[in-house]
Amino acid sequence: MAAAAAESDNGSEASPTAAGAGRDPVASPVKAKARAFLELEATSASESSEAKVDDGNIQEAESSLREGLSLNYEEARALLGRLEYQRGNVEAALRVFDGIDLQAAIQRFQPSLSEKPPSKRSNKLRSDSSNSGSQHAASLVLEAIYLKSMSLQKLGKAMEAAQQCRSVLDAVESIFQRGIPDVMVEQKLQETVSKSVELLPELWKQAGACQEALASYRRALLSQWNLDDDCCTRIQKRFAVFLLYGGVEATSPSLASQTEGSYVPKNNLEEAILLLMIILKKWYLGKTHWDPSVMEHLTFALSLCGQTSILAKHLEEVLPGIYHRTERWYSLALCNYASSHNEAALNLLRKLLNKNESPGDIMALLLAAKLCSSDYSLASEGVEYARRAVTNAESLDGHLKSTALHFLGSCLAKKSRIATSDYQRSLLQTESLKSLSEAISLDRHNPELIYDMGIEYAEQRNMHAALKCAKEFIDATGGSVSKGWRLLSLVLSAQQRYSEAEVVTDAALDETTKWEQGPLLRIKAKLKVAQSLPMEAVEAYRALLALVQAQRKAYGTVKNGTEEVDDKVSEFEVWQGLANLYASLSYWRDAEICLQKAKTLKSFSATTLHAEGYTHEVREQVQDALAAYFNAVSTELEHVPSKVSIGALLSKQGPKYLPVARSFLSDALRLEPTNRMAWFYLGKVHKHDGRLADAADCFQAASMLEESDPIESFRSL
């Protein structure tokens, strides 16, 4: 029956090569073979019961196919094996496939498929027919090896399956030495090649051969396989996922695959990001469908390397309708926050939390409150966001409510710093501690909560409670976070326990890495000053300066070294500290040199101008000192040390300057109520003005604050 079908098909073929094909059974058109095979499949499927084939009936069936369809040895076995595989007889199919000699088939197919087409038009049709027949035959054998690989995979033999699948691709490269052409490729052959290219890396991964999997992914993407966009996209995505989460460090692509002037990834992360961006570009061009997981993987990858600004750009480029606008705004706000663009992030959250959008979005409320908690001028707005978050978190889990209360306490604390009256300040401080305490009751093991509670106690000069919180934070973090050690040192210094604070600082220096020691060295230098050890303080500042300059050379200059980045000390601050130290020792020449160094880094600085005014003041150059102090206030309107210095200097100039001095000192205390020098000089002003009771109150406040005055403001933490 199969032979009759083949003859019928041959007789109906209307091509010029039909007669020749009939005379030559080896070159019979493969359409006949395909139709006969389908007939054979239908006949086999209709049988009610049939035993699995063994080696004997394999050979018998093979002989029948070869005689009926004019097939060679490999083609006949390929058809039989495919039939058994489709019926689910994997082991039987594998025995059939084992008899196929792939190398012999390659040698037979290679001349007809790899040679250049003839130039004479008279031979064109004959050549096309011969080439098509060879492609069909090659497709049949290559598909058989591909199915053999699939059979081995199903039997749990991943390594052998990968080797068989690789042999398919090796055979294709041997047959098509210049790569698979874009046109005139038989569809079934292309499907087999595409499936093999896609399967091979997965088989290597299942076999645990990660380096072979990496090589297979690159081979799939860099060789000319004529893959369609969807197949190529799937391979690129799987490769990116493997690079991100596979736990294997990939080497750079070989030099042979690198184009001159092209970008070459240096590590897994860069290569994964490049692949994901290529997939996104395909989607922008309409070459593939949208896959949300691609953006998720890209978000993870770019977040790992701190490139959230690039992620924000890609989120903005996503067409409307993919993400809801509130979801997009929140994602963009997170990206801007991670990039330290807090103002842009807050503006996006304001749009999101508008009453016409999503005013009750708990995550957006928490992020907005967190952003506001870092800025005194936004503290009131942050309190509103945090209170709304607390209300919305009532029905949710305790963690979200604890976080909302945490931010509420932080915003209230910031708001208390700029309160206009003592009563309002006291009320806000009480509410802040209440919110933080309630947050801790819901999340007792949150180190950040404990730390912020310690800061608030320290600001309110409750040093015993602050000391307890500092110790708890160090215990909770295992001493691995330097800010806990710094808080402990400052609290001990506020209790006038300088030697103990120095021991803590030295222990912290031993526990932290070299690059993170800047703030600790600064504290150590100030501790030496407080203990009247100026030369040791100079040595500490020199060590700090060496560290800062080494960091600048390693990471580059950040705005002329004037900004603190990631809790690092700026070079400007070190020169300023040295200038103040030398000025206190009356080493005027050294102090001026350090001030000039600081001015080189930052031309207009209230701190530098204040230090310059101090040098004039101790030299009794009153007018020059006042000019420098006023310039400092003009540069930074809320510079408290300059306001205190102006008030102190004017209080010595006679009765007519007392109202102005009192105004400056009162303004300084409004900004920093715990400034003991402001209280002291305000008491002197009241004394000169005849208000002895007020003067006594001010002196008492100054005395109490002196007993709990740290070497460095707690606001520096």
Q: pLDDT by residue (tens digit) across 61-112?
A: 555 554 545 567 777 888 888 888 898 888 988 888 887 877 776 776 655 5
3-state secondary structure 396-450: CCHHHHHHHHHHHHHHHHHHHHCCCCHHHHHHHHHHHHHHHHHHHHHCCCCHHHH
Of 320, 321, 323, which Cα lies nearest the Cα of 296? 323
Question: Is the residue at 695 inside a domain?
Answer: yes
Q: What angle do CA 695, 697, 698 make, to 5 degrees?
A: 65
Position 20 scores a pLDDT of 36
Question: Measuring CA to CA, how many Å separate 536 from each of 91, 515, 520, 526?
Answer: 82, 21, 15, 10
Read off the pTM. Answer: 0.75
- Judge whether 144 and 97 are in contact, CB under 8 Å: yes
Q: How many domains does the chain have?
A: 2
Question: Is the residue at 360 inside a domain?
Answer: no
Q: Which residues of 576-609 are buried (b: 16+ CB within 10 A; e: fewer)?
A: bbbbbbbbeeebeebbeebbebbbebbeebbbbb
Question: Is the residue at 597 inside a domain?
Answer: no
Question: Is the residue at 670 inside a domain?
Answer: yes
Work out whether the CA dihedral 444, 469, 480, 413 comes out positive or negative: positive
- Tens-digit pLDDT profile for residues 527-560: 999 898 989 999 999 999 888 888 888 775 444 4
Q: Which residues of 81-113 are buried (b: 16+ CB within 10 A; e: fewer)?
A: bbbbbeeebbebbbbbbebbebeebbeebbebb
Position 317 scores a pLDDT of 87
Question: What stretches in the chain show pLDDT beneath 70?
Answer: 1-71, 105, 108-134, 179, 181-185, 253-262, 556-568
Rg (CA), the chain: 40
Position 550 scores a pLDDT of 87
- Mean pLDDT across the chain: 82
Question: Which segments of 98-222 does DSSP mark as H helices, in order?
Answer: 102-114, 124-154, 158-175, 187-206, 210-222
Q: What is the CATH number of the domain that holds 678?
A: 1.25.40.10
Position 131 scores a pLDDT of 54
Question: Is the residue at 18 inside a domain?
Answer: no
Question: Is the residue at 648 inside a domain?
Answer: yes
Question: Is the residue at 515 inside a domain?
Answer: no
Q: How far apart are the first and last CA of the chain?
A: 90
- With 0-12 / 13-18 / 19 or more C-beta atoms within 10 angstroms meaning exposed / middle / buried, residue 491 is buried
User: Rounded to an integer, what distance in angstroms lies between the CA atom of residue 376 and that of residue 378?
Assistant: 5
Of 127, 134, 125, which Cα lies nearest the Cα of 15? 125
Of 501, 422, 494, 408, which Cα lies nearest the Cα of 457? 494
Q: One-letter amino acid identity for 113?
A: L
Specify the residue for token string 């992360």.
Answer: 269
Question: Is the residue at 454 inside a domain?
Answer: no
Torsion of CA 489, 494, 497, 500, to 10 degrees: 0
User: Rounded to an integer, what distance in angstroms lies between the CA atom of residue 34 and that of residue 604?
Assistant: 86
Of 477, 555, 493, 475, which Cα lies nearest the Cα of 518? 555
- Judge whether 133 and 93 are in contact, CB under 8 Å: no
Domain extent, residue 679, equals 643-716
Position 110 scores a pLDDT of 59
Q: What are residue 373's phi and psi, to 5 degrees?
A: -70, -10
Q: At CB < 8 A and 24+ separation, what contacts does 10-15 make?
A: 15/125, 15/129
User: Rounded to an integer, what distance in angstroms lies between the CA atom of residue 171 and that of residue 100?
Assistant: 13
Position 717 scores a pLDDT of 79
Q: One-letter amino acid identity for 555?
A: Y
- Tens-digit pLDDT profile for residues 186-226: 788 888 999 999 999 999 999 999 999 999 999 999 888 88
User: Rounded to an integer, what distance in angstroms lies between the CA atom of residue 515 and that of residue 526?
Assistant: 19
